[in-house]
Each structure stands twice: as structure tokens, then as C-alpha cells.
Structure 1
Amino acid sequence: MTIPPAAPDSTPFGTAVVAGVGLIGGSVALGLRQRLLAKKVVGLDSSMDVLREAEALGVVDEVRASAGEWLREADLVVLAAPMRALAPLARDLAPFLNPGALVTDVGSVKAGIAAEMERLGVRNFVAGHPMAGSERGGVTHARAALLENAVWVLTPGDHTPLTALSRARALVEGLGAAPVVMPPDAHDALVATISHLPYLASLALTHMVARDERLSLLAAGGFRDLTRVASGDPRMSRDMVVENRAALREALSRFRRQLDRLEADLDDPEELLLCAQEGKRTRDSLPVVRRSLLPQRHDLVVAVPDKPNQIGAVTQALGAAGVNIKDIEVLAIREDGGAIRLGLESPEDVARAAGILTGAGFEVRGRG
């Protein structure tokens, strides 16, 4: 498939709706707001407590507790509910969607939701899965940086318009993530091996420890690292693996064959050494992104109107006040203006710069 490049005017969006304001949904909403990718971000959630918290934290501009005619003004809708709730959520929203709106989701299993959206006749749906997360859930822990540098899989179907895919790519890139495109079934087979199978393996190992308290006395760092994914939300994890059970059964079958091979190699030390060497090479070659080790960024995003010398006006105002700009990036260009990201030295500089530029008539959003 030839994928058209993202058009520069495909973002920002006018009104964006994030349906499900948890960790990932909240992070998407914050990314949309901080990077000025949407003029208004609406949070939709069945929990009023979640909505109140999201509004108080500045994650969204507006909140809604149920679908309705108001959805027709949205030109972007992101389904960010838990796995089991995605299809029911889609059915609730479908009658009210603007036919021209881009619709996507963030679920970890793609074939089911893609089929459901096609059945509902949602034409501009592009299934997606940001490969990002945290052991701490909820909107309280949402942050736009969670999505930065993350692989974000997009899984268009046979009838997905190329314009919708182009807009989805632009959205993902605008949020700072890296889009990767593949069919829904291929995605589900891959995550069955690299995500869902490790979860079941972690459960099996932790159950062995639970049934023999002597093992827990010796379970040190290596065991804890290997079983870390078992500490995730049990209900959400259950729903994830059940939704992908067909692909997961195939992955389990291959895993059993590998265990049988290793068991046989216990009687052949040289063959076991070759297996160990291959394992080390493979593990050492895996890319690792340690966000906690990246230098902290202190950013200020500035909306600039479509007038001459607006970027110059921003830099001159800050320079005259002694605020040092360490980095500058153009985030969006559109007919009525655009947005730039300023990298500053400290949270204090972000606050100072925000005050200066707000006083000069610019719209700003900061992240210290």
C-alpha cells in the first residue's frame, strides 16, 4: 500500500473528543492541548469523578457524561475506553458522529474493533495502538510526554480511506509518536507474542510462588523484573488477553515448543549454550527507550497568528527580558496561523516566558 504523506493542513483539529479519560486518553488529551493540535478538547466519560478530575487538572477544556448531538461538531474522536468497553462505546457514539470526522482508538487488540466500526458504517475510522503505558493508571498520572517517541501502530482496514490514514499519521506525529502501519490481524499476532504471552507467563510464574511460600523468600530482582507485568490491573489485563485469544493460543503453542526444546537441551550442554548465546544476542539488540533517563524538558507552546514576523516577535520579546531559548520547533502550520515549541532552561523560565508572551497577546501552554 502506498501511504500518502501527512498533509500540513490536516492538523490541528477544531473540536477533539477523547472518549475515556484515563491514563492513555488523558495523555492524548494533554498532547492535543499542549501541542495546540485542537482548538477545543472535550472529555467524555461515564464517571463524573473522572471528568471533574480531568477538568481540574487542565487535561480537557470541557466535559461530557454521555453521547449526543453535540458530538457532530467534533472532527476528531479518540476512543480510549478499556478493551471490553470499546465496542459498546463505539455503538453509543456512532449515531452522532460527524461523517467527516476522523475516528481512532487506543486499544491493544485491533481486529475486533476494526470489524465493529466497519459494521457500524464509520467510514473514517483508523484503528490505533500507542505502545506506551505505565503501571500507574488513571487521569492523575496522564502526561503528554508518555506518548513522545513511542511507536504508535495504525491498522487500516481494506476500506479505510487513504485520506483518513494520512490524517491519523499526522495526528500521531503531531503528538510526538512514531506511526507504524500494518493490517489489524498482523498487529494482533505480534502483540500476542511480545505483550500478551509475557503476561500469561508472568501469571504462571507468580502462581508457582504463591503456592510455595519458600519460593517467595528467594524471589529476588530477576524474578521481579520477569514478572513485572503481572502487577497490572487484573480486569483490564484479563480483557486484553481474552479479546486476543485466537492469536494468543497460537503464540502459546509456539512457546510450548520452545520450552520443550529447552527441556531437551538440558541433556545437551553445547546446544543449550548456543540457545543461550542466541538469546543474549537477541535481548541485547532490542531497542530500549529509558524516558526516566532523558533530560527533563521545559517547554512552552505558543500559538502564532498568520502575520509577518510573529516568530521574530516571540524571540525578541523573550530575548529582551533575558529568557534564554535553548530549542525551537515548528509544531503546526495552518491557514490561520500555527504553533511553535520553545525549549527553555527551567520551570521558572517557562512561567516567566508565559507571562511575557501572554502580556504581548500570544496564546501559550507550558510544561515545566
Structure 2
Amino acid sequence: MPLFSQALDEDAFFKSIVVIGLGLIGGSIVKALRLKGYTGKIIGIDSNQSTREQAMTSGLCDEVVAIEAVTTGKVDKADLILLAVPLGRVKETLKQINVLIGTDTLITDVGSVKTTVHQMFNDLFETKLAFIGGHPMAGSDRMGFSNASPILFENAYYFLTKGSYHNASHLEKLIAFVKLIGAIPVVTMPKEHDELVARLSHLPHLTACALVNTFVQRLPEDALKYAGGGFRDTTRIAMGDPRLWRDIFTHNKSLLAESIDGLIDELQKVKSLLLTDQQDEIKAHLGKTQKIRAGLVARRPSEEFSLYPLKLDVEDKPGILAAVTGLLAKKQVNIKDIALDHARERMPGALILSFASENERIRAMQLITEDNLCKIFIEQD
């Protein structure tokens, strides 16, 4: 039986995959592989009986077992072992997978911090085993296999961090794996990844928590009903799982601490400008920030994945999104990214569509203008 129902290069892929942890991420990977036509062997491993039953009922895995089955040697060796467990359980899990490792097995994970995981791997295994870290920038506020989605990774960035002992073939296969499930691979080093997420992910989460705590400490409880969209949008990410974020913060504590210092310095700078009534400097500072933020829509990790955005001044009413996207779909114009601007004080219902090329953006402008759906302007960097 061929590995893929689609015409894909079997030699550049893994013939057997073990996924340890069948929650949202692990379950979504299994579902995405099958959706995209992978017919190789998938073994699912999870410590939760209910999760195992759900995975087995889905029919997507060839085998679904408890972790104890691994330690007793009842599971075959695999080409790829994917650890989809929380950061706090990675070390324990690594100690249990020796019997799954073949002569050319590649091990990867999906954790949000990479340096400590690479270090765990190097400390635990005396032999030179192949490990490449992984971090899909995708998720949901709903956990578990039942909420796993085969399209969770569509057009999401998927970081791959290089280890010490993998070879070029391992990396090529893992890149093919990432592309198959619909994600965009971004290859980097562990520390570079951790520096990036400390500033772009971990610090914003901590800042959202700080804003909520500041509100609770300084305002009466019933004042929350007056909180506008700005406060709600800014603090939404504070709803994350405390156990998950505790592990993330702990594993990236040094770089996160540096980021906190940088934020404190920035706040102190603005505070000084306010107290000394330097209005021109405040305006210049806010203007610089505004310009940087406006350019984020089009910015991507590499030129290969740069997108070309259109901003549409649409009326905030039911069906408008379907009307715009339906028009473009009918004319075979592919939208790579969609964002809704919830800061509606100046521009109600702003919709941002991004395209893979300038030609597609121009084509979209022409179609929307001809149909007189809404006003258009191009985001400026």
C-alpha cells in the first residue's frame, strides 16, 4: 500500500509515526496526516483512557496504547517519534521511549520552549540520537482529542530547531511533514526561537495577566462592566491554562526576565515623558509605535512567506465576510490570511485580507471594486 493517496514522494517521508500525547496538538496532527492522505502507520500513545478510546473510535490510528505498553516493548520502533506532551512531562516521557528508537529514528516535540528541551535530550541520551525541536504556532482554548482539528495547522508557522546530531535527511523529512499538515516551516536555532517567543508570546501573556491584576487591585469590582474592547482584547490571552503557562515561563525564565526588564524600561521612559510634560516627545513616541504596529500585518519570518494585505472598510453586519470571501473564491483568488480589526473607534468593521503575491492583491482589489462591496486601501509599512 502506498504511503499517500495523493502523489507525494514516499522516500522523503516517514513510513511510521508514533504520536505520544493525543490532546489538541497531538490529535490534530493525527487528523491532519490522515486528511492529507498519509497511509503509513500511526501509533497513538496517551495516558488517559478516555482519550485512548476516542482516538481508537476515530479509526485514524493503527494502534492506540497506554505509555506502559511502550516500556514493556509492545510497540514497534518508529521512523518518527513526536512528543505532544506538556513541557513539564517531556523529561519523564523521554526516559520511557528507548524501546521505540531505531537506527534512523528522528525524535521531535511540540513544546513552546526549545533550549531546555534540547538540553534534556542531550543529558538523557548518551548515544547520538537525532532530535529536532518543533513548535507549531497554533492552538485553541478548547483542549483534548475531541476538539482536535485536521486544519488546525493550516498556514500556521511551525518552528523547527536544529539539534546536534540530526542529518540533512532528517530535517528534509520533518520539513515535508510540516508542509503536509498544512503549516509553514521556519528553521532556526533553539536560543533564537526562545528569544523570539519570549518577546512575542510569553511577555504579552504575562503583561495581560499584569493588566488584569492591576485592574483588580486599583478599581472596584463592579467597574469591570465598563471595560471596553481595548481592555478585553488586550487581556484575552490571560485566560490561558495556568499550568501550561507556568511550565512555559519556568522553562524560559532567563529570556523572559530580560524581556520583563525591557518592558519596565519602556514604561519608565513613557512615565518620565508624562511627568515632565514632554508632549512633543510623547507624540513622536506614539507615532513611531503606530507605524511599527501598522507594518506587522505584512511582515513574515522570511521573504518567501511575505504577504500582501488589503484593508477593507466593511460595514459590521451579518454576511459581509462571506460576501467578500465568496466573491474572491468564485474568481479563484486565494486568501492566505484574514484578520478582523476589533479596535473600531475610528474604522468600524475593518477587515484585513492578505495574499501571497502582489498580482493576487491587485486582482482582489479589482473584483471588490467592480462589485462595489466596500472601500479599499492598502496597508502601508
Fold match by TM threshold 0.5: yes
Q: How much does 1:59 deviate?
A: 4.6
CA 1:158–1:73 in structure 2 vs 1: closer, same or farther (change >3 Å)? closer
| SS in structure 2 at match of 1:149 | coil
Q: Deviations over 1:225-249 (max 9, x none)?
A: 1011111111111111111101101
C-alpha offsets along residues 130-178 of structure 1, whole Å, 9 cap, x if unaligned? 1111111211111121101111111002333222111111111111111
Map residues 167-186 of structure 1 onto 2, 5 A cutoff. Answer: 167-186=173-192
**Equivalent residues of 1:72, 1:98 under 8 A apart:** no
Give the whole-Å Cα distance in 2 for the aligned partners of 1:55 and 1:109. Answer: 30
Query: Secondary structure at the residue paired with 1:16?
Result: strand
- Residue in structure 1 matched with residue 132 of structure 2 by the alignment: 126
Partners of 1:26 and 1:59 within 8 A in 2 = no
Q: Map Cα deviations across residues 232-284 of structure 1 (whole Å, 9 max, x no partner).
A: 11111111111110110111111111111111222212111122122222222
- What SS does the corresponding residue of 2:102 show, helix, strand or coil? coil
- Distance in 2 between the 1:273 and 1:224 partners? 25
Instruction: Give the alignment of 1:293-308 within 5 angstroms.
Output: none
CA distance in 2, matches of 1:34, 1:70: 28
Runs of 4+ in 1 over 6 A off after TM superposition: 292-296
Task: Considering Cα pairs closer than 8 Å and 6+ residues apart, tell me whether 1 or 2 has the greater RCO.
Answer: 1
The alignment covers a number of residue pairs equal to 291
Determine if contact 2:18/2:43 at 8 Å carries over to the other structure: yes
The SS at the match of 2:155 is coil
Structure 2: gaps spanning 5 or more residues: 1-7, 299-306, 310-320, 327-331, 334-381
Give the structure 1 partner of residue 278 of structure 2. 268
Match of 1:299 in 2: none
After TM superposition, the structure 1 stretch with the greater mean CA deviation from structure 2, 255-264 or 69-78, is 69-78
How far off is 1:12 after superposition? 4.0
Distance (Å, rounded) in 2 between the aligned partners of 1:247 and 1:36 = 40
Q: State the Cα distance separating 1:88 from its structure 2 match.
A: 1.1
Q: Could you say which residue in structure 1 is the equivalent of 2:21?
A: 20
Residue 216 of structure 1, aligned match among 221, 224, 236 = 224
User: Aligned-pair distance for 1:58?
Assistant: 4.1
**Residue 315 (structure 1) aligns with:** none
- TM-score under structure 2 normalisation? 0.71
Task: Give the C-alpha shift of residue 118 in structure 1.
Answer: 2.3
The 8 Å contact of residues 16 and 38 in structure 1, kept in 2 or not, is answered as no
SS in 2 for 1:100: strand
**Residues 15 and 38 of structure 1 are in contact (CA less than 8 Å); yes or no, is this contact kept in structure 2?**
no
The C-alpha deviation readout for 1:57-98, integer Å capped at 9, x for no partner, is 345332110224244432111100011111211111134322
Give 1:283's aligned residue.
293
User: In structure 2, do the counterparts of structure 1 residues 187 and 216 end up closer, same or farther at CA, with 3 Å as the change threshold?
Assistant: same
For 1:285, give the aligned amino acid: G
Task: Give yes or no for the alignment of 1:64 onto 2:65.
Answer: yes
1:97 aligns with 2:107: no
Q: Which residue of the other structure, out of 240, 262, 273, is the alignment partner of 1:254?
A: 262
CA–CA distance in structure 1, aligned partners of residues 112 and 94 of structure 2: 16
Aligned CA distance change for structure 1 residues 249 and 12 (closer, same or farther; 3 Å): same
Secondary structure of 1:153's partner?
Answer: strand
| TM-score for the superposition, normalised by structure 1 | 0.73
Q: Return closer, same or farther for 1:71/1:161 CA change in 2, 3 Å cut-off.
A: farther
- SS of 1:191's equivalent in the other structure is helix
Q: Give the root-mean-square deviation of aligned CA atoms.
A: 2.5
User: What is the alpha-carbon distance in structure 1 between the residues aligned to residue 193 and residue 27 of structure 2?
Assistant: 24
Aligned to 1:306: none
1:135 counterpart SS class:
coil
Mapping of residues 1-368 of structure 1, within 5 Å: 8-66=9-67, 67-68=70-71, 69-119=73-123, 120=125, 121=127, 123-211=129-217, 212=219, 213-266=221-274, 267-287=277-297
Report the AA paired with residue 85 of structure 1.
R
Query: Residues of 2 paired with 1:46 and 1:131: CA distance?
Result: 24
Report the 3-state secondary structure (helix = DSSP H, G, I; strand = E; otherwise coil) of the residue aligned with 1:199: helix
